[in-house]
């Protein structure tokens, strides 16, 4: 069937893509299909491959409007005329598998491919685009019959669906030619404007990233050493900021207007009292002069040399303002990325999308962040930040699946692993990259490798509180409760992470040391709303504390809102608590509450 279908695709090549400069030609699409099907990294069964070939062929032939579940079920899967897509989800399931297989292919083997083929959710019409296509997509289609709103697991990267190619008519050709003339006119006008303003415009690649001007640090002392430290500290800050691929640093003091082109100005001064030193730093938003962050850093020259102080203080400042949960990105979280935005798929915008997702933890924000980051890795494949955040977004489909509504997926863990490995190949010592590696290896069950990555991440920047807190969780749940819980408490003090996230960790810390009163108190602070895993933790705590009436309320909530979790308790807990004795202690609390925990298979 494959040779026949590919041959049919080739015969239709001359019928579509009148304006091949805007979208891939049919010939390019055909070659891309063959490249995908011939790759060992395209993991799809025979009927899935037949599905992909069929929908591509029909779209290129101008019959995209006929790509409904009934048609595909009859032609590809051999279903009878009595096929009912509402009762038989075979087409929807296969479409979901193909979406996952395509996404995996492009992450693993197709990074350099010029043509991207996807099957957007909302229908079965494939979408074709060049890797770096910046054209504006058409609005997504609506297909209630084939895409139930509750089916959140049927997609891995929800690319927007463009208008399907159709056979050109005379009227269509005339309209298209008119559009071309309009586009040429606009391009000419745009070119003239760009040339006129070339001296004042920012580079396109940096236009949407925050820009920070690092000013000279003032000194309030005539001591030469304070001036040396001020200069050295500024140089260290510039050097560390310049290593990030989501921030632009302005460091040329000879430009009188350097603050005018910057979004933020980092200012500070050095004060010395004998051998004691204080560094004062503040981040000012240039648009309105607001101080969005400020802090003091003290040091003693008798305990540490100047170079050590400079490096340490610079690391603390950069961590406070430039990490994903730092002052810059917190100030800019009103800039959100959605699946419709294709002109801003860079590391900065996608970091904001990720930040918004972490704050809300909804299926919609997760989908938007995943889409933005997937596109960012296609357009900027050397962005370690995008790969690391994409890895964590994929992993969340497993660890937060009851909150996000995703289904358990081996592919999700594999995609998270691939993304983390790609990030590590680009920036092996970056704390965020190491954090992603820690999480992926933890959920893969390689605890030694996970903790090694966490140790390296914490050592690289102990002042990155988010990294410290996540490392603390992994330590605690690996059985190193005392050291892990100390780091978790630091994250809570700094108020970082998703709402209630680290409070849930502290609840487990108190539970494992036998303090059920503190465990319950922390658990009820852990944002129980719509978080089944946290309700399960509270249920075990209440059972261990002998509070049967309250435990019954939690158990009833779980049976209504997360029945799948209640039949899969052992597996879910073993993903998180790695020591058998810790698992059994948790299960004992559930058994005391009257919950049957299945024996290990």
- The answer to whether 44 and 52 have CB atoms below 8 angstroms apart is yes
Residue with tokens 């190193």: 480
pLDDT of residue 253: 53
Q: Do 481 and 592 reside in the same domain of the chain?
A: yes
Is residue 57 a contact partner of residue 7, using CB atoms and an 8 Å limit? no
Quick check: 161 pLDDT over 50? no
Quickly tell me which residue has 């969340």 as its tokens.
396
- Number of compact structural domains in the chain: 3
Q: Give the pLDDT band (50/70/90) at residue 444.
A: very high
* pLDDT: which is higher, 587 or 242: 587
Q: Provide the CATH number for the domain around residue 230.
A: 3.40.50.10610
Residues 6+ apart with CB under 8 A from 273: none
Residues 212 and 125 in one domain: no
* Residues 115/130, Cβ–Cβ less than 8 Å: yes
pLDDT tier, 407 (very low <50, low <70, confident <90, very high otherwise):
confident
DSSP per position, 340-394: T--S--SHHHHHHHHHHHHHH--HHHHHHHHHHHHHHHHH-TT-HHHHHHHHHHH
Same domain, 466 and 601: yes
In a domain, 193, yes or no: no
Residue 190 has pLDDT above 60, yes or no: no
Is residue 307 included in any domain, yes or no? yes
Give me the chain's average pLDDT, please.
Answer: 78
More confident residue, 223 or 60: 60
CATH (domain of 580):
1.25.40.10
What would the pLDDT profile of 22-46 be if each residue is shown by its tens digit? 678 999 999 999 999 999 889 888 9
Contacts of 263 (CB under 8 A, 6+ apart): 210, 211, 212, 285, 286, 287
Task: Evaluate if residue 260 carries a pLDDT over 60.
Answer: no
Note whether residue 505 is domain-resident.
Answer: yes
| pLDDT at site 51 | 93
The CA-atom distances, in angstroms, between 312 and each of 59, 218, 251, 462, 463 are 59, 19, 20, 10, 9
Least confident of 181-195, 339-353, 536-550: 181-195
Q: Are residues 119 and 237 in the same domain?
A: no
Q: Do 467 and 599 reside in the same domain of the chain?
A: yes
Select from 130, 163, 191 the last residue of a domain: 130
Does 43 map to a domain?
yes
Instruction: Mark whether 8 and 125 lie in a shared domain.
Output: yes
Give the per-residue pLDDT at 55: 93
Distances (CA, A) of 462 to 150, 226, 318, 469, 473: 41, 25, 12, 10, 15
Lowest-pLDDT range, 101-115, 177-191, 398-412, 583-597?
Answer: 177-191
**Together in a domain, 123 and 24:** yes
In a domain, 272, yes or no: yes
Residue 392 forms part of a structural domain: no
DSSP 532-563: HHHHHHHHHHHHHHT-HHHHHHHHHHHHHH-H
Residue with tokens 């249920």: 539
For residue 485, the model assigns a pLDDT of 95
> What is the average per-residue pLDDT within 439-443?
96
State which of 65, 99, 130 marks the end of a domain. 130
Q: What is the mean pLDDT of residues 17-26?
A: 59
User: What are φ and ψ of residue 264, in 5° steps?
Assistant: -135, 150
Residue 473 and residue 599 in one domain: yes
Q: Read off the pLDDT of residues 481-528 as tens digits, 9 standing for 90 and up.
A: 999 999 999 888 877 777 788 999 999 999 999 999 999 999 998 877
Q: Is 438 exposed, middle or buried (0-12, 13-18, 19+ CB in 10 A)?
A: buried
| Mean pLDDT computed over 255-278 | 76
Average pLDDT over residues 448-464: 90
* 356: Cα within 13 Å, side-chain hemisphere: 23
Tell me, letter by letter, the H, E, C secondary structure of 235-279.
HHHHHHHHCCCCCEEECCCCCCCCCCCCCEEEEEEEEEECCEEEE
Q: What is the pLDDT of residue 50?
A: 92
In the structure, what pLDDT confidence band is assigned to residue 249 with cuts at 50, 70 and 90? confident
Tell me the average pLDDT across 336-362. Answer: 65
Terminal Cα-to-Cα distance of the chain (whole angstroms): 42
Instruction: Tell me if 185 is assigned to some domain.
Output: no
**Do 101 and 224 belong to one domain?**
no
**Do residues 218 and 91 both lie within one domain?**
no
**Do residues 312 and 228 both lie within one domain?**
yes
Burial class of 51 by CB neighbour count within 10 A (0 to 12, 13 to 18, 19+): buried
Q: Quick check: 265 pLDDT over 80? A: yes
Per-residue pLDDT band at 406 (split at 50, 70, 90) = confident
Average pLDDT of span 175-181: 41
Block residue for tokens 């999480």: 439
For residue 472, pLDDT beyond 90: yes
| Structural domain boundaries enclosing 311 | 206-331
DSSP state string for 30-65:
HHHHHHHHT-TT----HHHHHHHHHHHHHHHTT-GG
Q: In the predicted model, what is the mean pLDDT of residues 331-335?
A: 54
- Give the pLDDT confidence score for residue 601 in this predicted structure: 55
Tokens 């048609």 belong to residue: 71
* 597 and 494 in a common domain: yes
Domain-ending residue, one of 331, 360, 382? 331
Return the H-helix or E-strand segment holding 153: none
pLDDT in tens, 101-142: 898 898 888 888 989 999 988 789 999 988 754 333 333 333
Q: Which tens digits make up the pLDDT trace of 198-210? A: 333 333 344 467 8
Q: Give the residue, 550 or 328, on which the prediction is more confident.
A: 550
Most confident stretch, 366-380, 452-466, 571-585 = 571-585
Encoding tokens for residue 536? 């399960």
Q: Is the pLDDT confidence value at 330 over 80?
A: no
What's the pLDDT score for residue 187? 42
Separation of alpha carbons 448 and 438, rounded Å: 10
**414 domain-assigned:** no
The predicted pLDDT at position 156 comes to 38
Return the pLDDT at 223: 57
- 244/427 Cα distance (integer angstroms): 10
The stretch 216-238 carries a mean pLDDT of: 80
Average pLDDT over residues 159-184: 39
How is residue 260 written in tokens? 């005018």
Find the radius of gyration of the CA atoms of the chain.
27
Q: Is the pLDDT of residue 184 over 50?
A: no
Weakest-pLDDT range from 128-137, 186-195, 297-306, 484-493: 186-195
CA dist 507 and 486 (Å) reads 13
């Amino acid at each position: 069937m494959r040779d026949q279908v590919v041959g049919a695709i080739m015969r239709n090549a001359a019928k579509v893509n009148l304006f091949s400069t805007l979208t891939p030609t049919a010939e390019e699409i055909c070659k891309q299909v063959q490249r995908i099907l011939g790759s060992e990294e395209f993991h799809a069964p025979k009927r899935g491959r037949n599905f992909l070939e069929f929908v591509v062929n029909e779209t290129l032939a101008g019959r995209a409007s006929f790509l409904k579940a009934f048609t595909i079920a009859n032609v590809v899967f051999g279903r009878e005329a009595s096929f009912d897509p509402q009762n038989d989800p075979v087409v929807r399931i296969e479409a979901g598998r193909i979406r996952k297989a395509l996404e995996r292919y492009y992450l693993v083997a197709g990074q350099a491919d010029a043509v991207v083929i996807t099957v957007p959710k909302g229908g079965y019409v494939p979408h074709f685009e060049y890797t770096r296509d910046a054209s504006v997509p058409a609005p997504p289609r609506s297909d209630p019959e084939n895409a139930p709103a509750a089916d959140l697991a049927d997609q891995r990267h929800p690319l927007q669906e463009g208008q399907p190619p159709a056979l050109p008519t005379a009227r269509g050709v005339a309209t298209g030619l008119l559009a071309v003339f309009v586009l040429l006119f606009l391009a000419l006008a745009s070119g003239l404007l760009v040339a006129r303003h070339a001296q004042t415009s920012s580079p396109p690649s940096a236009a949407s990233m925050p820009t920070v001007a690092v000013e000279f640090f003032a000194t309030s002392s005539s001591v030469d050493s304070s001036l040396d430290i001020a200069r050295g500290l500024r140089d260290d800050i510039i050097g560390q900021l310049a290593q990030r691929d989501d921030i632009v640093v302005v460091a040329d003091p000879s430009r009188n207007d350097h603050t005018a082109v910057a979004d933020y100005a980092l200012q500070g001064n050095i004060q010395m009292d004998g051998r004691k030193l204080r560094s004062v730093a503040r981040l000012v938003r240039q648009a309105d002069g607001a101080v969005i962050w400020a802090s003091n850093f003290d040091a003693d020259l008798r305990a540490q040399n100047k170079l050590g102080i400079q490096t340490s203080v610079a690391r603390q400042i950069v961590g406070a303002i430039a990490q994903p949960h730092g002052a810059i990105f917190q100030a800019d979280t009103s800039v959100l990325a959605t699946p419709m935005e294709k002109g801003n798929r860079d590391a900065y915008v996608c970091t904001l999308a990720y930040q918004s997702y972490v704050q809300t933890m909804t299926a919609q924000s997760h989908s938007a962040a995943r889409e933005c980051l997937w596109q960012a890795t296609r357009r900027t494949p050397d962005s370690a930040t995008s790969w690391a955040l994409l890895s964590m977004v994929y992993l969340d489909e497993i660890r937060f699946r009851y909150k996000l509504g995703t289904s358990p997926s081996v592919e999700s863990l594999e995609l998270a692993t691939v993304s983390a490995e790609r990030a590590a190949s680009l920036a092996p010592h970056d704390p965020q990259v190491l954090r992603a590696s820690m999480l992926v290896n933890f959920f893969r069950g390689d605890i030694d490798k996970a903790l090694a990555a966490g140790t390296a991440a914490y050592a690289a920047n102990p002042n990155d509180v988010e990294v410290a807190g996540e490392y603390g969780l992994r330590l605690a749940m690996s059985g190193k409760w005392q050291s892990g819980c100390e780091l978790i408490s630091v994250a809570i003090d700094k108020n970082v992470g998703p709402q209630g996230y680290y409070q849930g960790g502290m609840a487990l810390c108190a539970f494992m040391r036998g303090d059920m009163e503190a465990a319950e108190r922390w658990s009820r602070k852990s944002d129980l709303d719509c978080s089944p895993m946290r309700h399960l933790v509270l249920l075990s705590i209440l059972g261990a504390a002998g509070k049967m009436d309250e435990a019954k309320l939690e158990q009833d909530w779980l049976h209504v809102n997360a029945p799948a979790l209640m039949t899969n308790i052992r597996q879910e807990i073993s993903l998180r608590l790695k020591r058998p004795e810790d698992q059994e202690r948790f299960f004992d609390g559930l058994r005391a509450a009257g919950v049957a925990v299945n024996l290990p298979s």
